[in-house]
Amino acid sequence: MATNVIKDNKNKYVKFTKEQKKESFKYYKNAFKKTYKYLLLDFVFMVLDVVCELSIPFVSKNLVSGVGRLVENNTWEVMQDVCINVGIMSALAVLGLGFGIMCMYLSTKFANLFTYSIRNDLFGKIQQFSFKNLDHFDVSSLVTRITSDCNNIRLCLTMIGRMGLKTPLMVIVSAVYMFIMDFKLAFIIIGIALVISIILTLIITKAVPLFSVTQKKLDNLNLEVEEQCNGIKEIKAFVKEDYMLGKFDKANESLKQTSVKVYSLINVNYPIVLFGLNIVNALILYYFGMQAQAFDYDSLSGLISSFTSYGITILMAFNFFSVLLLQLVRATASKHRLDEVFVEEIDIPYIEKTKTGDFDPNLVLSGDIEFKNCGLSYHNDPNKLAVGPLNLRINQGEIVGIVGGTGSGKTSLINLIPRLYDTTIGEVKVGGVNVKDYSVQALRDAIGVVSQKNLLFSGTIKENILWGKKDATDEELKQALDLSCSSEFVNTFLDKENTYVSQGGKSVSGGQKQRLSIARALIKNPKILILDDATSAVDTITESKIKRAFYNELKDTTVLLIAQRISSVKDADKIIVLDNGNMVGLGKHDELLKSCKVYKEIYELQNSGVTE
């Protein structure tokens, strides 16, 4: 049992080294390489779009003052002028529409494809993870990274692609126009906009840390729900519904209070922008009203309307920056979580190995196993070994039992054979060759493992068994099902081996699941078969049937049986007794009863019921 592995702290913010940053950057660079052309093209259209959009207030000013002049001076020439402006503006609108649509298309394409690529890389990276790497992450946190975190990055990229260039351009051009029209007023308006954007930024920086607090409280609440689901039988049996509800209410109240804080902060942003806008509007009227005598009245209305519209543009742009800032903060946190996966160093990588002389690293020739002074530490510390150091030879075809209490290192020991973990000290040899010299795939192909926590995947029984051998014939399938005593129940199903099973589903019982897992390993026709407490839920009669099959049918296969009960391994060719990670006994059942104190103790304890 891997009880002593280190789970990394989910909430700790680890700083990356330069190499790690470089490593993770590789993935983003790769994604960018595939998508940058969309972004470039997007920017081209965006510039065109901005030109159209900003020309509109300019033309509209002419249009409005044209109509204004018409009121004073109703002549055909002025009307002509109005008509020309109408034409120009319509054309601009149509062009703007085209450019706008192109922008939307390209920016969406860019963001989606970029995220798509990152998501594939992420899943691909996780597929390369070794057992040790997997110990560092929760499944649920990995799934969140694949879904929510990637989505946060997509949202941020979409925003940048859509407005990232447009907004600064709009701000600059609007500012320039305003300065041309009236230097003093432009200065005041931009000043107001800056003050407001500082306020917005302050609010957001205050809200950001609260986000993670909310997340933590939400996690707490979810934990309560999870406990309600998992412990429902206990809760009902002990009539503790009210107690659990009380606990839930506490978590709920605490979540509510933080949420109120966060939303109160975030939601005031827009009113502030709106207030700023109104002040600017009033200011413009006041400003021009004070100097109305100096202006000609007709051009005043045009000036006021242009100024107002540029003012709106600038303030809205700053509002957008605050939203973008928020999204950037989220995306950065998400990126950091992705990077944690990307920088994870794979300790058992898949490297293609080529033939050297007589040795073919892609072929395991025999099922001999040898442990040479080897030991494993989950902390990479030779002084804290979970198992070992030990020396041991197992010959091809032998059936070997491994017994010992919880935490005695049984699973740790067998994990070394298919290189699920690498030894901390010493070496493991299979077929006379160090396991590290084989290509990982070839080694694992030659070894069948039925683990303690066996799982089936969604699909038919047949599909699940064929995991062991893709191109297995029906004959082979039948044989594997027979040997594992699965046929007897599979044949009672309506759809036989085409019956659908799901990972969490209850269509097969625990014992049946174990038998199918054994079939899945058997169909590989492995050189070495490892069963880690794999028949615990199988009833005793079936268990003995399965074991009988191993003795009779798997003559050339080395079989390693981990068991809690001595009765399960009594007949083995060799029995290894582990205690606290050390091998304290090795031999046949009868010999061990005489020579090994630990073994004898376990045996007596287990049989006390019978002899009583």
Partner 1 sequence: MERVTTRGSTYRTKPKNVFQSIKRTLKYLSASKVKFTFCIFAIFLNVFVNLSGTYLIKVILDNVIKPISEGKLDSIYSLYVFLGMIGCYALSFLFYIIEIMLLVRISQDGLKRMRNELSNKLLNLPLTFYDKNTHGDIMSRFTNDIDMINEMYSSSFNEILISVLSVIIIGVYLFVLNWVMALVAFVFIPIVLMTINFFSKRTRKEFHATQLKLGELEGYSEEILQGQRIVKTFNKEDDCLNEFKQINTEFNEHSFKSVFNSTLTIPIVNNINSINFVICCLVAGLLVFFNVNIPGAIVTTGVLASFINFIRQFTRPLNRITQQINVVLAALAGADRVFNLLDMKDEDDNDNAVYSLVEEDEKRYWTDGNVKIAVKGDIRLYGVDFSYVKNQPILHDISLYAKPGQKIAFVGSTGAGKTTITNLLTRFYDIDEGRITIDGIDLSKIDRKSMRKSMTLVLQDTHLFSGTIMDNIRFGNLNATDEECIEAGKISHADNFINKLPDGYNTVISGTNDTLSQGQRQLLSIARCAVSNPPILILDEATSSVDTRTEKYISMGMDELMKNKTTFVIAHRLSTVQNADAIMVLEHGQIIERGNHEELLEERGRYYSLCIGAAKLE
Q: What residues from 454 to 483 belong to the interface with partner 1 (CB under 8 A)?
A: 454-455, 457-458, 467-468
Specify the residue, 212 or 373, whose C-beta has the smaller distance to partner 1.
Answer: 212
Per DSSP, what are the bridge partners of residue 359?
356
CB 301 within 8 A of CB 82: no
- Of 16 and 493, which CB lies nearer to partner 1 in the complex structure? 493
Give whichever of 19 and 226 is closer to partner 1, judged by the CB atom. Answer: 226
498 forms part of the interface with partner 1 (CB under 8 A): no
CA atoms within 13 A on the CB side of 205: 6
Name residues contacting partner 1, limited to 551-610 (CB under 8 A): 564, 567-568, 570, 601-602, 605-610
Per CB under 8 A, which region of 20-28, 253-261, 383-391, 392-400 contacts partner 1? 253-261
Among 139, 351, 357, 594, binds partner 1 (CB under 8 A): 139
The residue count for binding partner 1 (CB under 8 A) is 172
Q: Which stretch binds partner 1 (CB under 8 A): 173-181, 365-373, 500-508, 585-593?
A: 500-508
Task: Give strand pairing partners of 430.
Answer: 369, 433
Site residues (CB under 8 A) for partner 1, limited to 198-227: 218, 221-227
> Distance from first CA to last CA of the chain, Å, rounded?
32
Question: Cβ closer to partner 1: 218 or 325?
Answer: 218
Please select the residue that binds partner 1; options are 21, 172, 248, 398, rule is CB under 8 A.
Answer: 248
Gap between the Cα atoms of 70 and 73, Å rounded: 5
Residue 4's alpha-carbon distances to 141, 279, 340, 387, in angstroms, are 20, 63, 22, 12
- Compare residues 233 and 555 and give the one whose CB is closer to partner 1: 233
Tokens 């954007």 sit on residue: 197
Token pair belonging to 210: 């609260």
Q: What is the DSSP string of 38-99?
A: HHHHHHHHHHHHHHHHHHHHHHHHHHHHHHHHHHHS--HHHHHHHHHHHHHHHHHHHHHHHH
Backbone angles phi, psi at 388, to 5 degrees: 95, -175
CA distance linking residue 303 with residue 564, whole number of Å:
89
Q: Are 177 and 355 in contact (CB under 8 A)?
A: no
Residue with Cβ nearer partner 1 (289 or 382): 289
Residue written as token pair 């994870």 = 344
Report the nearest approach of partner 1 to the CB of residue 357 (Å): 26
CB of residue 372 to partner 1, shortest distance in Å: 23
Residue from 17, 205, 391, 540 touching partner 1 (CB under 8 A): that is: 540
Dihedral sign (CA 536, 537, 540, 542): negative
Q: How far is the CB of 223 from partner 1 (least distance, A)?
A: 6
C-alpha 155/C-alpha 189 separation (Å) is 31
CB of 454 to partner 1, least distance (A): 7
User: Quick one: which of 37, 347, 505, 597 contacts partner 1 (CB under 8 A)?
Assistant: 505
The minimum distance between CB 202 and partner 1, in angstroms, equals: 16
Site for partner 1 in 44-63 (CB under 8 A): 56, 60, 63
Near partner 1 by CB under 8 A: residue from 19, 249, 553, 556: 249
Q: What DSSP string runs through 405-424? A: -TTSSHHHHHHTTTTSS--S
* Sign of the four-CA dihedral 363, 365, 367, 372: negative
Q: Which among 440, 419, 338 is positioned nearest to 124, based on CA atoms?
A: 338
Indicate which single residue of 9, 11, 293, 552 sits in contact with partner 1 (rule: CB under 8 A).
Answer: 293
**Among positions 77, 183, 271, 474, the unique one binding partner 1 when judged by CB under 8 A:** 271
Residues numbered 2-21 forming contacts with partner 1, rule: CB under 8 A: 3
Say how far apart CA 484 and CA 518 lie, in whole Å. Answer: 6
> Measured from the CB atom, is 1 or 210 closer to partner 1?
1
184 touches partner 1 (CB under 8 A): no
User: Of 57-116, which residues contact partner 1 (CB under 8 A)?
Assistant: 60, 63-64, 66-68, 70-71, 74, 79, 82-83, 85-86, 89-90, 92-94, 96-97, 100-101, 103-105, 108-109, 112-113, 115-116
Binding letters toward partner 1, positions 146-165, x by CB under 8 A: xx----------x---x---
**Interface mask (CB under 8 A) for partner 1, residues 386-405, using x and -?**
------------------xx
Cβ distance to partner 1 smaller for residue 537 or 549: 537
Q: At what angle do helices 269-290 and 297-342 cross, to 10 degrees?
A: 160
Determine the distance from the C-alpha atom of residue 35 to the mean position of all C-alpha atoms in its chain, rounded to a whole number.
22
